[in-house]
Amino acid sequence: MDSQNQSSVSLSATSNNGVSAFANIAQAPEDPILGVTVAYNKDPSPIKVNLGVGAYRTEEGKPLVLNVVRRAEQLLINDPSRVKEYLPITGLADFNKLSAKLILGADSPAIHENRVATVQCLSGTGSLRVGGEFLARHYHQRTIYIPQPTWGNHPKVFTLAGLSVKYYRYYDPATRGLHFQGLMEDLGSAPSGAIVLLHACAHNPTGVDPSLDQWNQIRQLMRSKGLLPFFDSAYQGFASGSLDADAESVRMFVADGGELFAAQSYAKNMGLYGERVGALSIVCKAADVAKRVESQLKLVIRPMYSNPPIHGASIVATILKDRDMYNEWTIELKAMADRIISMRKELFDALVLGALLAIGAT
């Protein structure tokens, strides 16, 4: 059969007299988080408020691009030597080194001993997915314990990566705080070697974090049982205003010499939401192990998205490696964090006052 006839047969087989081969596909529900933004955009109300995806807004309700980000971007645009070639599978080398330093600390022994494999990924979500698929292929345990509650995308990401998802108690509605006893009991009964997802700071969605003493107890328990920590760091510097304070939980686990995974995102702390800039760092026991781990991460990434985009990572690297720009970023970052904290307090005070007035009116 010639190619023209083959083409006609294929066309008739798929067209089915004008009926789509996908005619019976059901309409999928909107994402529970991003769907709120879809509804917000459709709503004609002039007084609407978007309570969906967590993205910073100005006093006027507008998206904010940090001044230091605009400066860095302008430097990149004005550089005639910059090209649009593919990055390596692992991403921009400077970005990876600086990202590991940011989360693990400039004086981290793991970095100095070359025990860290870092790859640039598609923001925090991509970092979690790459890490999950690596674990599904190469780790002896296929179960990951995640907090109850947690970010809605976590169970989907890890399930599709090939892991079995279970939950550990985290939030106690009765106290509106951490269910520390339940957390410790659940991790204590987890099988040896299980993976445990930990929010590095600013737990999503509760905002409740362990104290440093509680973090240390969690670390001791996890190390005693050989549980593997997988940190999701989506808010470093954005929670407290301090990059170091928000990374203390991760660095505590690195300091004991054990292994861990850390997924980073620059969506919140640099406002690079749409640039999809993130990193996955795997802290290993030895440099030769880290080298082999990186080689296998490449095999995960290559068929997934081949290599990451260059622009957002270049913005981050430009800021992190320049002392003045880095300092400017920390000032802008703290201003955002402080404003969020003060707005939450004002909202709380207003709600309390409203409740008191309502009680008084009755």
Residue with tokens 């892991």: 163
Residues of the chain with pLDDT under 70: 1-16, 53
Q: Can you tell me the distance from the alpha carbon of 233 to that of 254, in angstroms, rounded to the nearest whole number?
A: 14
The long-range contacts involving 78-83, CB below 8 angstroms and separated by at least 24 positions, are 82/314
Running DSSP on this structure, what letter comes out for residue 275? Answer: G
pLDDT digits (tens, 9 = 90+) for 199-218: 999 999 999 999 999 999 99
State the pLDDT at residue 8.
47
State the pLDDT at residue 48.
87
Q: How many other C-beta atoms are found inside a 10 Å radius of the C-beta of residue 41?
A: 9
State the pLDDT at residue 2.
56
State the pLDDT at residue 5.
52
State the pLDDT at residue 38.
87
In terms of pTM, does the model score above 0.85?
yes
Residues with catalytic function: 151, 232, 268
Residue with tokens 């987890």: 190
- In three-state form (DSSP H/G/I as H, E/B as E, the rest C), the secondary structure along 280-341 is EEEECCCHHHHHHHHHHHHHHHHHHHCCCCCHHHHHHHHHHCCHHHHHHHHHHHHHHHHHHH
State the pLDDT at residue 360.
81
Q: Can you tell me the distance from the alpha carbon of 304 to that of 309, in angstroms, rounded to the nearest whole number?
A: 13
CB-based contact 126:276 (threshold 8 Å): yes
Q: Can you tell me the distance from the alpha carbon of 32 to that of 30, in angstroms, rounded to the nearest whole number?
A: 6
pLDDT digits (tens, 9 = 90+) for 256-298: 999 999 999 999 999 999 999 999 999 999 999 999 999 999 9
CB-based contact 117:140 (threshold 8 Å): no
State the pLDDT at residue 17.
72
Give which of 155, 133, 156, 134 is closest to 145, Cα–Cα: 155
Q: Is 62 exposed, middle or buried (0-12, 13-18, 19+ CB in 10 A)?
A: exposed
